[in-house]
């Protein structure tokens, strides 16, 4: 087994700066998912491109985000459809950070988002668990 020195790892990091561009998020329907993410969660529709044969390339991201996007992928097979709403295996699947917890929480409530609990204050911040339109668990969190 070979080990690398800290200097060797630093050199590799300076050369290669990969980033996570998108996460596939299985949906039943493109338009209902776009509506949920843009209205209830306040996301921005980044791209919606027709790929032919009913397939679209649809990405959404939190407003102001320049990082990772969600690729809304319509489930096309029975196996994929079985995983819609179960992408985290019953655990909280994604973590949505905010700097306006009260405002985002209120908007989400107005749009009918189901919250599994009341907001709570932890050492790491204010957090509440909610379900997306398919039942995947998310944390809305404002770091301390």
The two three-digit tokens of residue 60, written as one number: 């959404």
pLDDT value at residue 65: 85
pLDDT at 110: 96
- Rounded CA gap, 108 and 130, in Å? 9
How many alpha carbons lie under 13 Å from residue 71 in its C-beta half-sphere?
11
Q: What is the pTM of this model?
A: 0.85
- Helix (H) / strand (E) element for 14: namely helix 6-15
Q: Where are the domains positioned within the chain?
A: 18-84, 88-144
- The pLDDT assigned to 12 comes to 56
pLDDT tens digits for 24-82?
999 999 999 999 999 999 999 999 999 999 999 999 999 888 889 999 999 999 999 99
Distances (CA, A) of 56 to 30, 34, 50, 73: 8, 12, 5, 8
**Cα(76)–Cα(56) distance, integer angstroms:** 12
Min mean pLDDT across 18-22, 79-83, 114-118, 136-140 is at 18-22
For residues 104 and 110, give the distance between their C-alpha atoms in angstroms, rounded to a whole number: 10
Which tokens go with 110? 């107005």
pLDDT at 82: 96
Selected from 3.40.50.1000, 3.30.1360.120, 3.40.50.450, 3.10.180.10, the CATH number assigned to the domain covering 88-144 reads 3.10.180.10
Same fold, 18-84 and 88-144: yes
Instruction: Compute the distance between CA of residue 71 and CA of residue 111 in angstroms, rounded to an integer.
Output: 22
* Domain at 18-84, CATH homologous superfamily: 2,3-Dihydroxybiphenyl 1,2-Dioxygenase, domain 1 (3.10.180.10)
Check pLDDT > 60 for residue 88. yes
Start-to-end Cα distance in the chain: 41
pLDDT tens digits for range 108-126? 999 999 999 999 999 999 9
């Amino acid at each position: 087994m070979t080990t690398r020195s800290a200097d060797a790892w630093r050199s590799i990091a300076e050369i290669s700066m990969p980033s996570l561009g998108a996460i596939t998020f299985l949906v039943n329907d493109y338009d209902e998912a776009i509506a949920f993410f843009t209205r209830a969660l306040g996301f921005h529709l980044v791209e919606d491109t027709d790929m032919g044969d009913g397939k679209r390339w649809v990405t959404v991201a939190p407003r102001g985000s320049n990082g990772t996007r969600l690729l809304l992928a319509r489930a096309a097979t029975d196996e994929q459809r079985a995983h819609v709403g179960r992408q985290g295996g019953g655990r909280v699947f994604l973590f949505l950070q905010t700097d306006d917890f009260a405002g985002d929480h209120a908007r989400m409530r107005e749009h009918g988002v189901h919250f599994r609990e009341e907001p709570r204050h932890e050492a790491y911040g204010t957090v509440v668990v909610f379900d997306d339109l398919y039942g995947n668990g998310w944390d809305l969190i404002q770091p301390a």
